[in-house]
A and B are shown apart, each in its own frame.
Chain A
Amino acid sequence: MFDVNLDRRSRDFRPSRRDFLRVGGLSALGLSLPSLLAAEAHADSSRGAKARAKSVILVYLGGGLSHHDSFDLKPEAPAEIRGKYSPIPTSVPGLMIGELLPKMAKLMHKVALVRSGAHNNDHHETATNWVLSGRFGSPFGDFPAIGAVAAHEIGFQGALPPYVAIPQNPSFTWELGRSAFLGGRYESFKVGDPNSNEFKVRDVAPLEQLEVSRVERRQNLLSVVDSLARRVESNDQLDTYDEFHKRATTMILSPESRSAFNIGEEKDDLRDRYGRNTFGQSCLMARRLIERGVRFATVNYAGWDHHAKIWDGLGRNLPVLDAGVSSLIDDMDSRGLLNDTLVAVFGEFGRTPKINKDTGRDHWGPAASLLFAGAGVQRGRVIGSTDKEGAHVTADPVSPADVAYTILESLGINPRKTLMTADGRPVEILDQGRTITQLFS
């Protein structure tokens, strides 16, 4: 009962979060992590026994990846549609992709390609929130991103937050893919740009070097002076504050979390392979964090909105994408992580078949390409197809709800489960959609 509806305001008949997390002040220093983990073990009970994946990496291509120039080339189409690139063969017989993705070409036997992503919206914010949550709503995000849902259902396990965004959440003119009615508790934890000089995650590395006795004294003083919560019952914000205070303490003090974010621990040649840029290093960071217990990592790569000069834009972006994603898949595979991790790569829509007067392509909802890998995904599979202009789907359409449904269900979360908004409104996580079964069988 406790883990189902973590609504903003706890009710008479539900035990408060504090009751479950009544860990002694000193022991919250990470010195007795097991007690925290034990308290959270119940949170796992919402997950089914048959989860395909333990974690998810979502590579989000903000702006809309041009499918004509990446994974769904139309070399036979007229010049104003087929564009500049030629198709190249891949490690999957008969499958050709764009020439600017040679590394991916060698790896296509490890991934599944969906060429039939389709919906009917061409507005950045609306479509982004739609594909990230699986539900159509306003541009301002009425429904939580699936990462936030995962965080809600899985909860904190260990020192690291369950849901991270690297470097940030997607945004266009305002932040997208937020936690909506689930509230700030389930927002992604923003890691920042791992490619920056002297990269540090904000406020995680201890600012002061304090001995354990000092730390204890501070916590002691805090529990002496902070008596507000004892007088106020059933205040959800106060409860959340206490909980996050403990979590923050653990994150700051545990060597486990500090080391997780320390990308400098990775070998230079590996870092080079991923690409010494924000995206490449973000993919590497995602692998690190998944390895250390993070359950949902969104790697946000914006800048695909090529309304003009598309060859310049793609000329820059595609090689970066190529290096980052291929390294991620290979690296995870060789470490044995790919079996338990579902990797998904997509943007909010495809782009128009006809190249416009500014040598660009515009928004196009009816067709898009998506990639999946890991966690039971059949290797080398191609699902769906588009017509000869790459305009409309001709087989096996896949909707944003289907994608979200598949990802959640792979984690063992019931996508039709009902959540509660802060004002007590029951809302299904997803109101439609089905698992893309062709991915797994």
Chain B
Amino acid sequence: MRRSQLYLLALGLLIALIVSSCAPAAPAAPAPAEGGAAPAAAQPAAAAPAEAATTLVYATDTSDLISLDPAVVYEFTGVLIAENIYDTLVKFEGDNLSELKPSLAEHWEIAADGDMWKITFHLDPDARFASGNPVTAADVVYSFSRVLDLNKSPAFLLADIPQLKKENMTAVDERTVELKIPNTASPQALLSILTFSVGGIVEKAVVEQHVEGDDLGSTWLRDHSAGSAPYVLERWEPEQQVVLTANPNYWGPAPKLSQIIIRHIAESSNQQFALESGDIDVARNLTPEQVEALSNNPDITIYRANTLLLIYVGMNVKQEPLDKPQVREAIRWAIDYKAIVDNLLRGGAKVHQTIIPEGLFGAVDNNPFQKDVEKAKALLAEAGVPDGFSIEMLIPTGPAPGGTDWSNIAAAIQSDLAAVGIQVTIKQTTQAELLNIYRAQSGQLVLILWGPDFPDPDGNVGPFTDYSQRVIAFRNNWDNPELAARARAAALEADPTKRSALYAELIETVLHEGPYAVLYQPGVVFGLRKNVQGLLWNPMGTIEFANVSK
């Protein structure tokens, strides 16, 4: 009967399609030893090697991507990409966060002006947008005004921290920009903020062509670029990849690679497979086990870098007996920090106990606490709770930075605290629910993370000490106006020597009096194909792809 023939035909067709579609993959796949030039499967063999040799394929979990508009991005992937398509006035180079370098601004001055600071930027006369037009002071003022007007996630970095207002931004002439901020705000903080994606300069004329209603062009800028950086945005295929190509009109030294593909691979095992096969050049999200396995592979280099994150336990001082400083100190002496870092994170983090992470100005190597059961018990006795107490600890679900799950860290703390008589009940919720409780000041112990919003010690010390900022000190009900005033003074101190002395004292006070047990500072680990050179991770979460070659 005819129907059966139709069947056979369809089956045959399917098999033929499958066979034909994978046939070219086999001959085109070279042995792994040939290195990163491996053409991807199912790719016309002739086209791939040339393209692959000048392309960097960077695999990461891009599911956080919501926009590439510098006035909107505040997510890891978005910031990483935006900083490669938009230049900023000033920048930090490589992984150095202590020395500001010129970028669009050749030089700049800070001067007192009544009760304001006046910061004057002089633009580089060579600076050009990808369109070929010069970068002008009007573009700078337009870019910062967009951030304030759109008022999206990163806007507080300009509006709240340095208290920048639209009326205090002036294009003095074609190449001179003046910003004024109140003298209670820190010009240093403003400069560090301007290195970040929120300080990215967009081309006014281009953006204005694409304004829809009151969106200030952000619908268009979501997946188009109008910057002056070494790369321009070629396309964004949602949940698949973002493709950057070299900016043909770039005003600085030409980038070494002509194309950067930020590829969305969420599963770490798939990242490992793709790295081993040479389909990708960089794997961003490898587990400690995978790193161990890959470190024996001659085609792969393991690159470890720093973050500015801190993983800590917050202690609500309105919850008895956490109101007693001795109890908080006892908890700090009860925890086995080294065991968490060595046994659970296996090289993915280091012990860090103060509120300024390594890599920021003012950080010190001051880690006095280690597991000491006797000392902790003595402190509890001193506080009047010699037999310990019961308490609840909120923890998020999923993996913690550094390479293990939050639940494993929590279990380690639970058993450490049990040894001194403190019975911890672990309550695991989604991070969103946890933050709800934490923000409402209703937590008891809370295991969570913090990363500074801008690379200045004030990005940590303010939130950790100043109740009125309504961030971390607030969430733990720790109101210490005297300390907050000292933190503000340190933020404004212009003399670096004095400033670091002020921070050292602050750190010491918070270390013993504060409501925190800071556990560790996680690192990041990358798997790279051997031929990838010049990749440097900036702890603020960016990579200058223009310096990468292969």
User: Do chains A and B interact in one complex?
Assistant: no
Q: Which residues of B contact A (CB under 8 A)?
A: none
Binding site for B on A (CB under 8 A): none
